[in-house]
Structure 1
Amino acid sequence: MITLTRDEQIAAVRRFIDAEHFRYRRHGDGAPKDGEIAVSQAWALVRETPGSPLMTCLEEDFRTFCARCLDLEFEGSGDSAPSIRWRSTNADPARRDFDRQDPANEAFTIDVGSEQVTIEAGHERGLLQATHYLERLMADRGAPRLARGRIERSPTFAPRLTNSIFIESDQDITDPDQLSDEYLGLMSHFGGNGVHLFTDLYEFCRNDVLPELNAPDFDERIDSLNRLCARANARGIDLYLCVILRVLAEDHEVFRAHPEVKGAASDVIVDLPVAQHCLCSGSDTVHRFCDQTLANLYSAAPDLAGMICLVGGEGFMHCFTRPEGDYEGGSSCPRCRDRDASTEVAALVNRAAAAVRGTGRHKSFYAWPYSAFVWSGSDDRAQAKWIEELSDDVSVMANFATGSHDVVNDDGVYLFDYNIKTIGSSTVFAEQRRRLQNRGRPIYAKVETNTTPLYFSMPYLPVHHRWHGRWRAMAAEPVAGFIGQWRFYGMNGSPPEEVQYHATWNPKDTAAEVLGRMARRDCGVDDDGAARLVEGWSAFSDAWDDLPYSAMLCGERAYYMRGPMYLGPAHPLIFDPQDDYGLSTRFRTLRGDAHEGLSEEDRELLAKTAPPRYIDQMLMAMPYGEARFLDLIGRCRARWGEGLGILREVLGSSSSERARMELDVCDMAGIHLTSVENTARFLVTRDRLWRDPLDRDGFRFSMEVLKKTVIDEIANARRALPMLHRDPRLAFNYCYGNPYDADMVQEKIAQCEHVLNTELPGFDRGMRFHLWMEFP
């Protein structure tokens, strides 16, 4: 089969995303049950609310949903017709300056009577969420049937930020192709009410403090941003800027004109011939620059909902963000080195928050101390001192599950980044939440809602019970709101995102209830089949307890995007580290985010020395050690296989496209786990050939293990090929680049066949001839 080109795959994923909300179809006989009403074409749709872009989109979307998914066209009219009615309990339901952190603004009621369904809310965002809820009731029911009674709902979390799949690593936030109208609608229907945009402040810079940094196309960019705001707002989605204040080359014109604003050299970007420096966060000139630039930006784009300020180990760069060089004190910047980092970063954040909220008190400002241990120190991993010095303008957002030991395996591993290995909060997050609660303030969380850094190329990781447990744990803290996607794999209407939806609007529903509804609706199974699928999904979640999770498994020396968990079925088995096996340059690429903020010249310079994305040694076993790593990954892969066996039993003969898609995602996740296990077993066995004393029998045994492992991995890789050809969502990542495709898997298979049929037999003959004088 022909492998899709990158552009063809992107186009296929776009088509999938744009149609995804309207994928539901009538199922079952649809006859009304006791206590149900039947909504028919004789019904009318009546809006008893002022007109607005959102209400227009709401009605158009509802009509399209009912027509495409339920074969229902509304033809009723007049006061006597049965009807679905939208009513506002507020005189100004479309006001734009409302508090996005207040759940009351999305609360709603639905009253289902014999001939009328009445939807009421104080704000039109509540009417929108009620309509989404109504659609989901009918989609799960498989027909336009509704149970009589009253439904009252208020969201568990507010806000709920997500992100697009279709964003570049260096994001152009004015690009309309990253968020189609249909995609914005999908996000809204699956519970998102905000999108965060990775924003280079210099691209939206207008000020007279440091005019050298002004953006020449400021007005054009603002116009584009305001148009995107209008489209998003009409679908109940707000825009938040995750503002990046990047480093600049030490000879940048702003440093030549204003030497006093040159801050610390940065350790974030290395291997460039010219040192990179931040603007000095201890400089009053820089403070005034930020004040003016942010105020101008948020005034020119008045419908922006707020700002996210990432002030830990990257993002909004300051003199304490991983400074480079030998120095004493807190920074290599001579002005900041003797200052207290927590106090200085708090002052920087407070100034920025005041500038943004000065353009509208309803706007939110989130300070996010991701990896802030680089400046708060190991004795204050929760940034307690920094939290105490924040003003009331600042809301704190923190990583929910980062920074604690993995207590399940108890191997001394700190769980980094957005793992789903742990379900509840980290000790760091819990301490941050406690300190904020003591001040009467909420905490917001950064999580991932469908995948993790281990699976950049998967639309979701099917550990559905773990995702459900995560939301329960967040509600229990309590977490007020969240960012649900960074830039790994954006929102795509996945099962974990449906779990997220119900955690927001039906928090009492159990995992079995939520997953059972999905199984019956999407896979066409009966109650017994649904129960078996839930059992299989539970086995996947249980398997994750045994995963030897670490940054080394995620990316070895690169910490992300390297090794068998990343390349999966395309990962070669390297017997001779000095041989590149003729593998194409696609196996040697820059880490997907390595060129953020760099010029084309600097990108080309770094690309020339790009390392392999595959590994040829066992650093990924750190800190477990080889034996423990092999034991854990073997158990994880075996338990995953048990769940996969149940899904194949229930879905293997199904004609449902959705059943096949779910089975493929679960199978592909297992293929990656198997590639990890086979790679580890191959490398450990290879290294034992010279690390441990071996007699002839021991040598023969080791060679047989190597051969069997290669055979197993060839079969594992071949299993992936049909899935890659039929589902464009797999092995796909827009932001950081695809890790592999079917052609790379074929290359890997050819490499493994060479190892199996040529390299290993030749090594076997040569060693036996020269060490033990055997022939042949």
Structure 2
Amino acid sequence: MMHNSFLIRDRLLAANHSPMHRQRRNAHRWVYRDKGIHAASGEIELSEVWNVKGDLQVSGMKEAIEDFSEFLRIMEVDLSDDSEQTVEFLLASDGEEETLAFEISAEAGRILITATSIGGIWSSLVYLEKMMMQKKAPIVSAGIVCKQPRWNTQISQAPFGANFLVPDLSPEYLSDDAFRQLIHQGINAMTLYGDWLCYTRNESFPELNHADYDQNIATLRDAAQRAGKYGVKLYYVAVSPKLDSKHPVFQRSPQLRGSKIAGNMDKAQSIHCFCSSSEDSLALHEEVMENLFQEVPELGGLILIVGGESYYHCFMRPDLEGTAPGAKTDCPVCAGRKPEDVVNHLLKVTAEAVHRAQPQAAVMAWPYSAFRWSSDEAQLELVQTLPDEVDWLNTIDKDQWAKKDGYHKLIWDYSVDYTGPADNLLAQINILQDKNSRLFVKSETAIGLEAFHIPYFPSMQRIAEKWSHVRDTQPSGVLQAWMFFGMWGSRAEEIGWWMNWMPELDAANIVRMLAERDFGKHAEGMIAAWANMSESAGRYPFIPPYFSGPEFIGPAHPLLLRQRADELPEFIAELYFLQEMEETFSESIRMARHSVVHSQLFDLKGMMRLEAGTDYWEVALREFDKAAYYAGEAVKQYEAIAAAGVQEGVPGELFREEQVLSEFVYRTLVTTRNTYHFLHLKERIKAGEAAGQKELKKQMLAIARAELDNAKRAEPLYAEAPWLDLALRFEGLFPSSPMMLKKKIELLQEDLTFLEGELGLMGHVAEV
């Protein structure tokens, strides 16, 4: 994955949405004090003057004290170092393994918080803050409260605007504020992503040594130590080398060369991974990973995707051209072995190396898209033979055929619709329980591939339902988001904290509690709007292709009545995820040009299952109609709340952000429905349908007019919410959304004039 930190930083600062800005706004974004609320019997109010203290020699204690003090000041509590009324954080070591558990002992004039790790200290202050936010007053319950989470590890992506790519993890691009924002959402771990050649220095194969090794290791160590002050650990998603067959290391040591990787843009080039059976290759993996955790023992662990990308082996993406039918790889050394044996041995070697340096580090195997090579579709044999040293990580939803209204939908990737748990995960859990192996569950907290052009889909009931299913799997940890948007600090992410720390609450309780806390007398209206958005999310008929089309581009996606000879440069992007098939550190993918426009329909037969004879696109369009309808109903509810006026004391910005986001989802769904309906009509015209070419063109004209109106109504949304601009999110790899929208409107106006003249309908409206 390529990266341009300077570009994203400058644009974020210009938009006033840098990581620091988002952090200052979001760390306590729902805090406001109701001065009419005072302590009742069995409660202690922090009135008069208090002192927050702790052992400043403990790494992270200073930051924790400053954070809680800031919160209390927002709650209008007077603070002084001389006060005898104290809130004290105490780090007590009892010889047990570090946990996030803590104890709060509260009595008049004294609140003592005890934990065995700095992570527990941060967990306790987040708990106190959330309890006070719920009460809308600086009040705590008297007596002793002991809390521990359902799972100890909650992993997420970096906050919006902060970098997650190795090796550029300096404070300029991954600030301390980023870690502070994570911990306030109950997230105590963060993913890093990138090539492990950045951290390679060895004697056996000096051709692989990285020139900036010392700097890269120092930057990683600094980031891990800074994160640790906030109780956050870094988990490395390691990407293995993919090298040209002529690379010096293969020329000198041909035994290292593994399978040829399929899909490279340059067909004349032959790119290979390292052989996953070669003893020299395995020794290299050992040396690199053991050294990494010796140099940076603060790392939380490794996340090794062994299915279709990242931690390469000879069965992952082999070029099978010319191999015998049924072959799983073109590597002559691995070809005679069972894939599960090869992959699990690679995992075992890696985990043993890591644990020699850092016994507590987690090494997780993630079979994302392992159906490409596994002996069974659910990877049950891989789980059965998983080494004891390795933990299992898998998704709550992926690879399920979900039953819908008259059809089945393939959940081929993360979904905003299907909440799980997938059948394959349930079968794997049974095996893991018999083996007494740890399970980590991957989910998407706030979005799905149906709608990942936004920070979160405001469908709180559906999001809470998915979190409930995650909790029901009884995981040791949760990976709650991949690196699509950036952790936003939304209620969608906060639900994860309540699910983890308050197991007595169910999904409906949590949704209602958040609505009442944030919107007071408008809670019922918000719950109703979220319910409509939840129904809307459930009506996406398929998960669309990556990073293109109306679902991703949103209202800026063009609707082209006429074929154009020019390329339309406003809609050209660099599809960085295709780097997966390119040589390590290659720049070629950045030079390629890819249109993000859907100009024709695609085959839905692999995405949906319908009864024979049913038109796939007619079913899909019916579902998009319903999705847009329910989102539109939610928008009306938000408008009614806005007209009634937000309750005094509730930040208007909080409500307005939710309102703008929901309208943007609605506008996107209208564009999506219009685009696919329009393309469907074009196909019917091309097929020479007997219904009448002119009547079909009239329908296309009506759709184009409606879409022009929809596009114009979307313009103010981009102006009010600059974080919706795709160019901000993807570091300049994607074009500017407002620029695309402007061009779309211009093209639509030109095309409408042309078609109206052709049909003799100037000024007339055709019925759809």
The answer, yes or no, to whether TM exceeds 0.5 is: yes
Q: Measured at CA, do residues 321 and 422 of structure 1 come closer, stay the same or move farther in structure 2, by a change above 3 Å?
A: same
Matched, 1:534 2:521: no
Q: How does 1:579-618 map to 2 (within 5 A)?
A: 579-580=564-565, 584-595=568-579, 603-604=587-588, 607-608=591-592, 610-618=593-601
Task: Tell me the CA shift for residue 34 of structure 1.
Answer: 2.5
2:291 & 2:271 partners in 1: Cα distance? 27
Match of 1:153 among 128, 135, 147: 147
Ranges in structure 1 where 5+ consecutive residues have no aligned partner:
100-104, 767-776
- Partner amino acid for 1:392? D
Give 1:769's aligned residue.
none
Query: Is contact 1:573-1:752 (8 Å) kept?
Result: yes
Task: Tell me the CA shift for residue 91 of structure 1.
Answer: 4.8
Query: Is contact 1:373-1:381 (8 Å) kept?
Result: yes
Ranges in structure 2 where 5+ consecutive residues have no aligned partner:
1-6, 609-615, 647-651, 762-768
Aligned-partner SS, 1:538: helix
Query: Is contact 1:567-1:740 (8 Å) kept?
Result: no
2:403 & 2:581 partners in 1: Cα distance? 38
Matched, 1:484 2:480: yes
Q: Measured at CA, do residues 83 and 299 of structure 1 come closer, stay the same or move farther in structure 2, by a change above 3 Å?
A: same
2:694 & 2:51 partners in 1: Cα distance? 79
Q: TM-score, normalised by structure 1?
A: 0.89
Deviates most, 408-417 or 197-206: 408-417
Task: Tell me the CA shift for residue 30 of structure 1.
Answer: 3.8
Query: Is contact 1:465-1:541 (8 Å) kept?
Result: yes
- Partner amino acid for 1:646? Q
Structure 1 residues 633-680: Cα deviation after superposition (integer angstroms, max 9, x where no partner) = 111111222222222211355461111101111111111111110101
Query: Is contact 1:162-1:196 (8 Å) kept?
Result: yes
Matched, 1:562 2:569: no
Q: How does 1:164-313 map to 2 (within 5 A)?
A: 164=158, 165-166=160-161, 171-313=166-308
Structure 1 residues 662-713: Cα deviation after superposition (integer angstroms, max 9, x where no partner) = 1111111111111110101111122222425446xx4443233222211211
Aligned-partner SS, 1:40: coil
Query: Is contact 2:446-2:457 (8 Å) kept?
Result: yes
Structure 1 residues 51-74: Cα deviation after superposition (integer angstroms, max 9, x where no partner) = 31211111011112222x223331
Matched, 1:406 2:402: yes
Deviates most, 339-348 or 329-338: 329-338
Query: Is contact 1:633-1:673 (8 Å) kept?
Result: yes
Matched, 1:638 2:644: no
Q: Measured at CA, do residues 128 and 602 of structure 1 come closer, stay the same or move farther in structure 2, by a change above 3 Å?
A: closer
Deviates most, 331-340 or 111-120: 111-120
Q: What CA RMSD, in Å, does the superposition of the two structures yield over aligned residues?
A: 2.5
Aligned-partner SS, 1:85: strand
- Partner amino acid for 1:713? E
Give 1:341's aligned residue.
339
Aligned-partner SS, 1:263: strand
2:332 & 2:584 partners in 1: Cα distance? 31
Give 2:349's aligned residue.
351
2:258 & 2:577 partners in 1: Cα distance? 24
Matched, 1:71 2:76: yes
Query: Is contact 1:346-1:390 (8 Å) kept?
Result: yes
Aligned-partner SS, 2:364: strand
Match of 2:387 among 384, 391, 399: 391
Matched, 1:42 2:42: no
Query: Is contact 2:242-2:584 (8 Å) kept?
Result: no
Give 1:455's aligned residue.
451
Match of 2:156 among 155, 162, 183: 162
2:56 & 2:594 partners in 1: Cα distance? 59
Q: Measured at CA, do residues 85 and 632 of structure 1 come closer, stay the same or move farther in structure 2, by a change above 3 Å?
A: same
Structure 1 residues 540-578: Cα deviation after superposition (integer angstroms, max 9, x where no partner) = 11222221122xx2x2xxxx00111011111111223x4
Aligned-partner SS, 1:413: strand
Aligned-partner SS, 2:410: coil
1:387 & 1:514 partners in 2: Cα distance? 34
Give 2:714's aligned residue.
720
Q: Measured at CA, do residues 466 and 114 of structure 1 come closer, stay the same or move farther in structure 2, by a change above 3 Å?
A: same
Matched, 1:628 2:647: no
2:242 & 2:267 partners in 1: Cα distance? 13
Match of 1:650 among 638, 641, 645: 641
Q: Measured at CA, do residues 765 and 611 of structure 1 come closer, stay the same or move farther in structure 2, by a change above 3 Å?
A: farther
Query: Is contact 1:204-1:215 (8 Å) kept?
Result: yes
2:689 & 2:273 partners in 1: Cα distance? 54
Task: Tell me the CA shift for residue 399 of structure 1.
Answer: 1.6
Give 2:64's aligned residue.
58
- Percent sequence identity over matched residues? 24
- Partner amino acid for 1:568? G
1:417 & 1:601 partners in 2: Cα distance? 27
1:515 & 1:594 partners in 2: Cα distance? 38
Structure 1 residues 485-506: Cα deviation after superposition (integer angstroms, max 9, x where no partner) = 2110121211101111111111
Matched, 1:746 2:742: yes
Structure 1 residues 142-182: Cα deviation after superposition (integer angstroms, max 9, x where no partner) = 33123434433211222111121346696434333332111
- Partner amino acid for 1:611? H
1:603 & 1:217 partners in 2: Cα distance? 18
Query: Is contact 2:274-2:314 (8 Å) kept?
Result: yes
Q: How does 1:755-770 map to 2 (within 5 A)?
A: 755-758=751-754, 760-764=755-759
Query: Is contact 2:242-2:582 (8 Å) kept?
Result: no
Task: Tell me the CA shift for residue 40 of structure 1.
Answer: 2.8
Query: Is contact 1:246-1:597 (8 Å) kept?
Result: no
Aligned-partner SS, 1:243: strand
Aligned-partner SS, 1:330: coil
Match of 1:466 among 459, 462, 469: 462
2:104 & 2:165 partners in 1: Cα distance? 43
Task: Tell me the CA shift for residue 465 of structure 1.
Answer: 1.1
Task: Tell me the CA shift for residue 8 of structure 1.
Answer: 5.1
Query: Is contact 1:120-1:127 (8 Å) kept?
Result: yes
Match of 2:117 among 123, 130, 134: 123
Q: Measured at CA, do residues 562 and 63 of structure 1 come closer, stay the same or move farther in structure 2, by a change above 3 Å?
A: same
Q: Measured at CA, do residues 40 and 597 of structure 1 come closer, stay the same or move farther in structure 2, by a change above 3 Å?
A: farther
Aligned-partner SS, 1:467: helix
2:239 & 2:583 partners in 1: Cα distance? 16
Match of 2:360 among 356, 362, 367: 362
Q: Measured at CA, do residues 620 and 740 of structure 1 come closer, stay the same or move farther in structure 2, by a change above 3 Å?
A: farther
1:635 & 1:731 partners in 2: Cα distance? 26
Give 1:770's aligned residue.
none
Q: Measured at CA, do residues 599 and 293 of structure 1 come closer, stay the same or move farther in structure 2, by a change above 3 Å?
A: closer
2:422 & 2:690 partners in 1: Cα distance? 46
- Partner amino acid for 1:519? A
2:469 & 2:242 partners in 1: Cα distance? 37
Match of 1:87 among 72, 87, 90: 90
Give 1:660's aligned residue.
656
Aligned residues: 731
Query: Is contact 1:168-1:735 (8 Å) kept?
Result: no
Q: How does 1:91-110 map to 2 (within 5 A)?
A: 91=94, 98=97, 105-110=99-104
- Partner amino acid for 2:80? E
Q: Measured at CA, do residues 6 and 720 of structure 1 come closer, stay the same or move farther in structure 2, by a change above 3 Å?
A: farther
1:479 & 1:410 partners in 2: Cα distance? 33
Aligned-partner SS, 1:452: coil
Query: Is contact 2:277-2:342 (8 Å) kept?
Result: yes
2:162 & 2:53 partners in 1: Cα distance? 38
Q: How does 1:506-521 map to 2 (within 5 A)?
A: 506-521=502-517
Give 1:16's aligned residue.
21
Match of 1:111 among 87, 105, 111: 105
